[in-house]
Amino acid sequence: MVSINTHKVAAIFLKYQQEIDQYHKNAYKKLLQFKKTNRLKNSANKFLVKIIFQFSNRNFFTVDNREYDNLVKEIGAVPKLKKKFYGKQKQTYLKDEILNILNYKARRGDFFPKCFQILEIKSCVYCNSQLTISVEKEDSGISAKFQLDHYYPKDQYPYLSVALLNLYPVCAACNLSKSNNIVNFILYDDNFSNNFKFEIDKKTLSDFILDRKTDVIVNFKGDELFEKQFNINAIYKTQSDITEELITKSLIYSASYRRKLIENFSINKINDSLINRFILGNYSEPNEVHKRPMAKFMQDIGRDIGLV
């Protein structure tokens, strides 16, 4: 729903450079080994050769998402190939082997959750209505309480399964709705001014202020397909109580009340952003939307009615 500035991702790559280089080196070595020991034929062999060639030129964990279109065109989708994989005849043999070589499962359990923690993503990047968090396990390690959506689906393009900029932490419902489709939203993008916005219907707003009974309508404006795919309007229709609370706050919280708040708390580090967060009951800055569910909805309404 809201993009993340890529400089944050670049900082992660820098911080874990050694680790990431090692992941890549291991995967590359295993790819070469796999090619040597499995004499694949035709399309499968061509596919593997293309991946190996691209792997020799770039690190697939850090590859820029502006390169994805070309890579996908160049390498293509994984061919179906029925062969034995861990004792079972599987048509997805080649895809499963590649995921295995990239050590996808392990990275899914350690490295990626760590990245999303640093990026402060705690809510579904599609609907922003559900938590997508990682928790510390009692014994050790991290347990990821979210599903990982691949912008370019891993079933077709397994070589992009470990590319961080291809990974979107999402809730189960959104992941199911999205399936293997491509969505018209890029999460890692420097352009924050995307077109997704919640807008309050002014007629129902004024009616509500007058009679305190009218249901205030909030519409999600933006990509129609995105709205339909994730049922955005239907999700947020259930949150009309939040809308009412925000409107009521906007009627109560005057400018002088706001000044008073700042005066009263001046001993601590109280700034405008924190006051807005307190008044809104959620994070108030556009680049903080991922920190808590419902933030985008509450921010847009809050701004629309002059609360923050």
Binding residues (CB under 5 A) for Zn ion: these are 124, 126-127, 171, 174
State the minimum distance, in angstroms, from the CB of residue 277 to Zn ion: 23
d(CA 246, CA 226): 26
Phi, psi of 290 (to 5 degrees): -75, -10
Rank residues 42 and 238 by Cβ distance to Zn ion and give the closer one: 238
State the minimum distance, in angstroms, from the CB of residue 190 to Zn ion: 23
What are the contacts of 246-252 at 24+ separation with CB within 8 A?
246/280, 246/281, 246/298, 246/301, 246/302, 246/305, 246/307, 247/205, 247/208, 247/209, 247/216, 247/305, 249/279, 249/307, 250/302, 250/305, 250/306, 250/307, 251/209
What is the 3-state composition of the chain as percent helix, strand, coil, each rounded to the nearest 5? 55, 10, 35
Task: Name the strand (E) or helix (H) holding 219.
Answer: strand 218-221
State the minimum distance, in angstroms, from the CB of residue 130 to Zn ion: 5
- The residue whose two tokens read 């569910």 is 293
d(CA 159, CA 99): 8
Rank residues 93 and 126 by Cβ distance to Zn ion and give the closer one: 126
State the minimum distance, in angstroms, from the CB of residue 1 to Zn ion: 9
Rank residues 63 and 124 by Cβ distance to Zn ion and give the closer one: 124
- The residue whose two tokens read 């309480």 is 145
Task: Name the strand (E) or helix (H) holding 284.
Answer: none
Q: Which two tokens stand for residue 6?
A: 């890529």
Rank residues 146 and 159 by Cβ distance to Zn ion and give the closer one: 146
Say how many Å lie between the first and final Cα of the chain, rounded: 20
State the minimum distance, in angstroms, from the CB of residue 218 to Zn ion: 18
State the minimum distance, in angstroms, from the CB of residue 300 to Zn ion: 17
Rank residues 277 and 290 by Cβ distance to Zn ion and give the closer one: 290
Contact between residue 307 and residue 279 where contact means Cβ atoms under 8 Å apart: yes
With 0-12 / 13-18 / 19 or more C-beta atoms within 10 angstroms meaning exposed / middle / buried, residue 113 is buried
State the minimum distance, in angstroms, from the CB of residue 200 to Zn ion: 22
Q: Which two tokens stand for residue 281?
A: 């009951």
Rank residues 131 and 262 by Cβ distance to Zn ion and give the closer one: 131
Rank residues 62 and 123 by Cβ distance to Zn ion and give the closer one: 123
State the minimum distance, in angstroms, from the CB of residue 114 to Zn ion: 21
State the minimum distance, in angstroms, from the CB of residue 63 to Zn ion: 26
Q: Which two tokens stand for residue 33?
A: 């080994």
Paired residues of 85 in beta bridges: 88
